[in-house]
Structures are given as C-alpha cells and as structure tokens.
Amino acid sequence: MNNTTPTDFNSVNLIRFLWKKKMHILIVTGLAALSAIIFSGPAFIPPKYKSTVVLFPTSTNSISKALLTQSQAPKQDVLQFGEEENAEQLLQILNSSVIRDRIVNKYNLFKHYDIDPQTKYPRTLLNKEFNSNIKFRRTENMAVEIAVMDINADTAALIANNIAALLDSVKIQMQRERAMKGFKIVEAEYLSLLADMKIKEDSLTILRKKGVHDYETQAEMINMQLAIEIAKSPNSVAVRALQAQLDTLAVYAGPYVSIRDGLEYEKKHLTEIRAKYDEAKVDAFEELPQTFKVDMAYPAEKKSYPVRWLIVVVSTMGAFLFVIFLLIIIDNFKSIVGLDNK
C-alpha cells in the first residue's frame, strides 16, 4: 500500500517521486519533442519569409508653401522629417481598404492564400489572412515599418515595396483631389477678374476716344487755358473749343474716374490672386514624394516563420510540466482512495 499522503509532498519527496516516475516523464517528454520536430516541419507548417520597408513621413503637404512661399515655418521645410502625427497619418492610409484592395487584386491574394471566393464570408477570411501576413507599425524613431510575410520570398519583397509605392500615390491622390478643387475655385476667381479688367480696359479705350484721357490733369489744364483765352477774347473760337472739351469731360468724367479707380484696385488684387493661382496650380499638378524611404524590401534568404526551435522547446517544456502535474494528480488520487479504503 502506498503510505504517501496528500501532505507528504515536500521538495525531497517530490524529487524522489519524479525519479521514480522518470521513465514515464522521459517517454512523454521525448514523444512531445519528437512530435514538435515533425509537425513543425515544412510538410505541416509552410515556411514564410519576411521582407520589410522602413520609411519616414515628410512634414510638408503643400508643395507651394514649401517651395514658393517666401515666409515659411520650419515644419514647411521640404527636407524636414515628419513627426508622430505624420507617422500616424501614414499608418491610417496603410490600413485603408484602398491599399488593401489594390494589393489583393494585383497579386490575386484569394488564389495565393487558397481562399475560395464562393465560400461563406470570403472577404472576412481574406482580411484575416492579410492582417496576419502584412503588418504596419510605427517605430520608436517615428518611422513607419511595412512588414510582409509570405511563403515566397520574392512575393514578400514585391508586396512590401508595392505597398510603399502605393502609400505615396494614394496620399498624393488624396491631396490632389482637394488641391484640384481649390485650384478650380482660385482659377474661376482669377479668370473672372481678368474678364472684368478687360471690360474696364475696353471702356477706358472708348472714353479715351471721346477725348477723356486723364480727367484731373485735363480739367486743370483746360480751365487754365480757358481763363487765358477768355481774358483775350471771350467769344473767340478757342474759347468755344475749350468749353466743348469741358462739356465732354463733364459728361464722361464720372464714369472715367469710377472705371479707372476700379481698374487700379483690381490690378492690385490681381497680383494677390495671381500668386494664389500659381500656388494652387503647383499643388494641383505637381507632386513630391510623401515619404523618405530608408530601407527597401529585398527577398529574404532565410525563413522567419515558423521558429522551429522555439516550438520544440515550448512543446517539450509544456509536455514535461503537464506529465509531472498529471502524475502527481494520479498519485494523490490513489492515496486518497487508499486512505478511504482503510
């Protein structure tokens, strides 16, 4: 009869117990290690290769403000690396469906991941596989890392580099859509102002043909000359001619001054609008890279998954502890049953 009681398991008794059961422990642990070696092999777990792209965000969004504006803040420096906020914006774009769908379509990931489009919830299965193999994170240095795992080393590198390129193009496209709308608004204002100035210029040309060239100067000169001619001969032809000129000025002076002053104001305003027009045009039609690429992806020479030694160690240790726990439970159960039978 086993005289061991549930309270007899101190450290010495435990060691004796384990030594007594060493064959059971060695057999179970050995089988677990062998199983882990076999089932972690390529036949059961396809090896995957990892490729990464590391890039920094830029701090500028507007090309015109970074390159054309005279007074620019430090954050508008075209060579300035972005900060945490810029990195988070890139991560949000990377996790968007726009990039995911383009990668899925380009590399036919339904077929590549062996997912039947006719099965129930195919998109959910694809997204789960996509998120497990393609990951984005912000590093401690405010860079953004794109990591791609795939059973094919070349495919992993191609997808990683393609995502980095798409990140640039998608962000540029998002900004361009907004910039184009802004450009259209400024362009309409600019063209409207040019058309209005053309009308005023044509009106001034007509008034000049009427003899109104510079109202203030003309009026002053004619009045001086009229005074001289009246002093000589009040009823002379020269007096009548000068009076006719004054009558013409009286009729057209008001419109002339109004149009001339309005045209001067619009010329000043045109300078401001033209500057905004040029800036908006640059933002709408030109582009700059939105990231500084530090490391491009290349095909990995060694697999990154699975880590077989880790699987074997964890499985072996787990089996070792489990069999010890199970043997203790069985032995204590037998002891308790034996005490009850006394």
Sequence-ordered list of residues with C-beta below 8 angstroms from that of 227, at least 6 positions apart, any chain: none
pLDDT per residue as tens digits for the range 105-134 = 999 999 999 998 888 889 999 999 999 999
Beta carbons of 267 and 280 less than 8 angstroms apart: no
Residues 188 and 203 in one domain: yes
Q: What is the CA radius of gyration of the chain?
A: 43
pLDDT surpasses 80 at 243: no
- Which of 156-165, 177-186, 207-216, 274-283 has the highest average model confidence (pLDDT)? 156-165
Within a domain: 6: no
pLDDT of residue 15: 79
Within a domain: 29: no
Residues 194 and 217 in one domain: yes
> What percent of the chain clears pLDDT 70, i.e. is strictly above it?
82
pLDDT of residue 332: 76
Sequence-ordered list of residues with C-beta below 8 angstroms from that of 318, at least 6 positions apart, any chain: 32
Looking up residue 108, the CATH number of its domain turns out to be 3.30.1890
pLDDT surpasses 80 at 302: yes
Strands lying side by side in the sheet with 291-295: 134-138, 144-150, 49-57, 291-295
Cut 0.75: pTM above it: no
Within a domain: 101: yes
Structure token digits, residue 320: 């070792």
Indicate the number of domains in the chain.
Answer: 2
Residues 68 and 144 in one domain: yes
211: phi > 0 → left, psi -120 to 50 → alpha, else beta; which? left
- Domain of residue 151, residue span: 49-178+288-295
pLDDT surpasses 90 at 232: no
Residues 213 and 144 in one domain: no
Q: Who wins on pLDDT, 198 or 285?
A: 198
CA–CA gap between residue 161 and residue 299 (Å, rounded): 11
Residues 85 and 169 in one domain: yes
Beta carbons of 186 and 278 less than 8 angstroms apart: no
Residues 115 and 195 in one domain: no
Strands 49-57 and 291-295: antiparallel
